[in-house]
Amino acid sequence: MIDKDERLPSIKSAGLIIRPNSKNLYQKYQRLKDALCKHNIQLLVENSSADQLGILGVDQEIMFKQSDILISIGGDGTLISLGRKSYLYNKPILGINAGRLGFLTDIKPDEIESFIDKLANNQYRIDHRMVLEIELCLGDDCKKLIALNDIVFSRPLVQGMISIDAYASAKQTNKTKKHLNRYYGDGLIVSTPSGSTAYNLSAGGPIIFPLTRALILTPLCPHSLTQRPLVLPADFEVEFSSNDEAIIMIDGQDIYNMKDFDSIKIKIAKNGIRMIHRLEHNYFDVLKEKLSWGSE
């Protein structure tokens, strides 16, 4: 959802994390700090990022609590990591692209000053991106995690294939669980629309407009050519099981063994992540630039 009318009451402080080993790291930090200082906005830098800069930082939790907005300097992975870590604090996130693709981070380093001016003058928009909630349960002990891009079920070794059973339930079926499919191959991707241009796209899955609310199931190198990507409405919950050795990767950052759990359920989380963008930010322009659409 795009909310052009949503405005933050005031921006007095911003929290910053930086991708390790970013080029011209201190220069980007100083440009951002000076641009924020011009509008009397304090910049809080998380400890590990501050260590890279050789400056005094603050504890991550303190930064989340005290910041009105959060900023990442890096690629999409840096923003995703920040979004997952700060999810419970519900702070809007601004991504400055110091990476390569930048589907999520649309502000370039040379646009820092001009965009901060716009930010201070309420010339921005806030997009609400849906996230996935994954519930990993063993007996009565359940661990809940979120994913902004995708959850991947994959074989742990190069040789062999894995079989994964998927069961779906939804409100219109009174939450009755029905066997959906048995995926046999290298694995399965469960993606958000935001993540549809990541691993999902490489695996032949569909590109979904990022503000759509849907689940995308894309098989990885399936044994049968009849296995195709599937898009499910927002009220569906999908449960997975397997008797094979399989791993679960969440946003490419957390890894679990599927056999360590009795139940693995995925649904759309109640709350999403708020992302700050330029008013003129256009997703289709991003696709044309990153995927070279229309080029000869």
Give me the active site residues, please: 76
DSSP string, 99-137: SS--SS--B-GGGHHHHHHHHHTT--EEEEE--EEEEEE
Cβ neighbours for 106, distance < 8 A, ≥ 6 positions apart: 95, 97, 277, 278, 281, 286
CA distance 163 to 179: 14
Name the 3-class secondary structure at 19: coil
User: How far, in Å, are 170, 216, 272 from residue 201 at the CA level?
Assistant: 26, 11, 22
Q: Are 4 and 125 in contact (CB under 8 A)?
A: yes
44 has which bridge partners?
15
CA distance 196 to 193: 5
CB atoms within 10 A of CB 218: 27
Q: Are 131 and 272 in contact (CB under 8 A)?
A: yes
User: Which pair of structure tokens corresponds to residue 67?
Assistant: 């910041």
User: Which pair of structure tokens corresponds to residue 133?
Assistant: 């909630």
Strands (DSSP E) found in the chain: 2-3, 13-18, 42-45, 69-74, 93-97, 125-129, 132-138, 141-147, 150-154, 162-169, 178-185, 187-191, 214-220, 230-233, 237-241, 247-250, 254-257, 263-268, 273-277
Terminal-residue alpha carbon distance, the chain:
33
User: Which pair of structure tokens corresponds to residue 242?
Assistant: 């397997």
